[in-house]
Amino acid sequence: MMWLLGFASIGFGQDWTNTLEAVKPAVVSIQVNATRSFDTNSAGFSYATGFIVDAENGIILTNRHVVTPGPVVADAVLLNNEEVSLTPIYRDPVHDFGFYRFDPDEVQFLDLVELELAPEAARIDTEVRIIGNDAGEKGAILRGTLSRLDRPAPVYGRGRYNDFNTFYIQSASGTSGGSSGSPVLNIKGQVIALNAGSKRTAASSYFLPLDRVERALGLIQAGLPVTRGTLHATMTQLPYDELERRGLPEDVEARMRQRFPDTTGLLVVDKLVPAGAADGILRPGDILVGVQQAPLAAFVPLEAALDDNVGRPLSLQIVRSGVEMSVEVDVADLHASSPDSYLEIGGGIVNDLSYQKARTYGLPMEGVFVASTGYALSRAGVLDSAIIIEVDGMPTPTVKDFEDIMAAVPEGEAALVRYFHPNNPSRQFVFPVEPDREWFPMQRCTLDPETGLWPCAPSPSPPPPPDPQVVSTTFRMPRDRVARKLAPSLVMIDFDIPFRASGVYGATFRGAGLVVDAEQGLVACDRDTVPIRLGEVMLTFASAVQVPAEVVWLHPEHNVALLRYDPALLGDTPIKSARLNTEPLHEGDTVWQIGLGADETVVARKTTIERRRPTNLPLPRTPFFRDSNLALFDLESVVPSVGGVLTDKKGRVQATWASFVDLSDDPSAGLQGMPARVLKESINSVNQTSLQTLGVELLEVNLADARRLGLPETDAQMLDAHDDARRILAVSRLRAGAPAVNQLRAGDLILTINDQPATRFAEVEAASRGERVRVEVFRAGERMTLEVPTMPLSTQGVERVVSWAGALLHETPPWVAIQRGVEAKGVYVSWYWYGGPAARYGLRGTRRIIAVDGADVNDLDAFLEQVRGRRDREAIELTTKRLDGRVEVLTLRLDLEYWPTAELTLGANGWVRREQ
């Protein structure tokens, strides 16, 4: 059953209680998921309000910024909590209103009610009620009184969506977030305005008049297009006293006052879009007094004339510098000035520069607007909201032009992109941009007005990559004698990450590397420079030549990554393998700190080992790789660098000068010396896919503290005789799932390893490379000998990730087990994107999915099997477990249209992307 709500039709008395009870079934809560950043809108999820204006056809009126200018997935929740899916059918290019459609047949348990639009009933001092989802509270009711009918449109911020060329209605009612799109009702139950915005610093709400809304609704109901015309000009109303100072003739003023006795001013041209419809015909400051020879003093008749004359000339009567005249302007199609397609490139979004943006910044409507940089554009240095005007010297006035040029860029190559930021158009930048199709598909998506969807078409396939170019160079030798030995072994590393896998805390990393095998092209660096395998590595030699590399090996416990490049690409460049000296360093030893400065020059300083100390890094706030069981070196004095090595006087590497990052709060990194023995083990193990480990974290305990813990004197003397550092090792943490969990305990004091005294991390680690370790410990006043099996830890890192429902999934990283005591099982949620179902329904990072619709999933294959074949918009129940062990159940509705499943797998030839 459907009802038209209005005082006359329902017949209740003038009582707000009756009115509100009658209108409530027509008001809906709208859940809005903007799936992509587009034009003035950012991707993300929000709540808003709408109301039914046509129950038979299922049409809901709300704000434009609720319908959004781009791709959107939305649902409406009715008064009785029934949920219906919404299809966007209209968003006005300028004014803050739009329409959704739902299927009335989906509603089973509620009689639908529609509200009557009555724009003519909006009068000053009218008491009103606003019913909606104020501050997210469903069915909230606010009261107010209309105080102004001619308020300027609210300004929401530079570069954001802003309404213009209309008056707004003001009321002291103080609406807030969630009430966007609420009906403004009079006591008869008529909608006399549309709630649009509010002022945070005062209890003021701003309502959109319904004159143009009513027209648009009528055309939609009749199945006709909603024509919208524009002059690409912004008008403002100025009072007569100001107009007199601007030269308004007295007789014209008298005529206009007589014709419009209730108005206090006239419309004036404020801004013109360069190269727009009225540019060169109208001028800022022109006073409008007529349209098509009819007197004019308000926005509505002007817009009516524009909307009825799209593509035709329009006669305007104006006063310019005190002279009354008539001009003729060709009316442009306003819808054509709003972008209806976007290009996905390198994980970013670009669209045509819109009228909204061009008007804000005073720019012509040409160029490609960067709505979201994503991976490829941000990697190249392009900024969000930039405007791309040229690629490889060819202009890009539209997204289609940009796509055509970028599609012709060979795979693995880059194009020179010229852009500027609209805040400073006079300053232009040029950066090389690689489309990066390896990670992200390149495709253009265009609005289908019939479905409200934005289906995507793949961009043309790129040409094959050219043969790699061989380039030779030489090294600029530093003055320091020892540094000259290392200069041909140092390389600058840039590492860019397209997907935030494994809890990685950034997307761009830079540091120094060391060539350890020039013949094989093997380079070593720390894991703060190359933290994971999923990314792109570029090596720069001598600040002159750049070659790609791949990550081939990651130490599972220590701060070492190994990379490989093709030496043939460097021709005759005299690269040398660094020599190692694994003799232990001691406090007071003289070393040379040699590395690369931020400007890639070789820096060097003769210095002294100040002290040796264990890593003792705090636990990361988000689980991530963290070194442990290692003693590091500090220097008395250092030369600023991005990393390097510590050498003896012969230039042999005794330690790497590596970056260790503290992730317990905001990331902060410091450089310390790491013994060369760790580097040597890594090089020797480069072909091993795993290393055996005992599965414990150890800490150093002073011998005096150990005695207070009850360590027998004979053991204390034995350990003291073994190592004059007067420290012993104690178990700090155990890796969940390791065999050691069943035998060792936190607090155990280590006495011997394989029957030999052990007081150094290196001694325990060396013994742990076997399959079993005999560990003698002191626990609770008792000595005990334990046979502890070791366990393998992968040196390959994450080799497979899945993008599903807007979340990045992979196997649970191994460090979760040691840092949080959680077995590395289940499907780990590493990242989520705004605009995806994961963000909307609360599937957050660090959660582990352990069941799908009640079926257990222990790994990625089991998970994919459970979700394979699901329908678009189908609801799925996920059982997840937090790091603290709490189990949570959430439901998630799929969005396969905008967030299809894709898998990235590391193979012999690199990473391969496959759509599911």
Q: What is the DSSP letter of 619?
A: P
d(CA 642, CA 672): 11
**HSE (side-chain half, CA atoms, 13 Å) at 37:** 18
Residue 242 tokens, joined: 């100001």
d(CA 71, CA 342): 10
96 is an active site residue: yes
- C-alpha separations of 655 from 9, 363, 671, 723, 817 in Å: 87, 56, 12, 21, 29
Q: Token pair 């937090």 is at which residue?
A: 882
d(CA 895, CA 315): 49
Contact indicator for 288, 270 with CB cutoff of 8 Å: no
d(CA 720, CA 494): 45
**Both ends of the chain: CA-CA distance in Å?**
43
- Catalytic option among 54, 65, 354, 732: 65
Going by C-alpha positions, the residue among 69, 175, 161, 68 that lies closest to residue 132 is 175
- State phi, psi for 23 to the nearest 5 degrees: -85, -20
d(CA 692, CA 690): 7
Give, for 884, the enclosing helix (H) or strand (E). Answer: none
65 is an active site residue: yes
Question: H helices of 209-298, where?
Answer: 211-221, 240-245, 250-259
d(CA 217, CA 53): 9
SS3 content of the chain, % helix, strand, coil (to 5): 15, 40, 40
**HSE (side-chain half, CA atoms, 13 Å) at 423:** 5
- Catalytic option among 37, 179, 182, 378: 179
- Across 360-381, b (16+ Cβ under 10 Å) vs e yields bbebebbbbbbbbbbbbbbbbe
d(CA 473, CA 545): 7
d(CA 746, CA 755): 21
d(CA 520, CA 497): 25
Q: Token pair 């040229």 is at which residue?
A: 390
- Catalytic option among 75, 96, 627, 895: 96
d(CA 96, CA 302): 18
Q: Which residues contact 509 (CB under 8 A, 6 or more apart)?
A: 493, 494, 495, 496, 497, 528, 529, 530, 531
d(CA 808, CA 815): 18
Give the angle 184-190-196 at the CA atoms, nearest 5°: 20
Contact indicator for 878, 892 with CB cutoff of 8 Å: yes
C-alpha dihedral, 567 to 568 to 572 to 575, nearest 10°: 0
Q: Which residues are catalytic?
A: 65, 96, 179
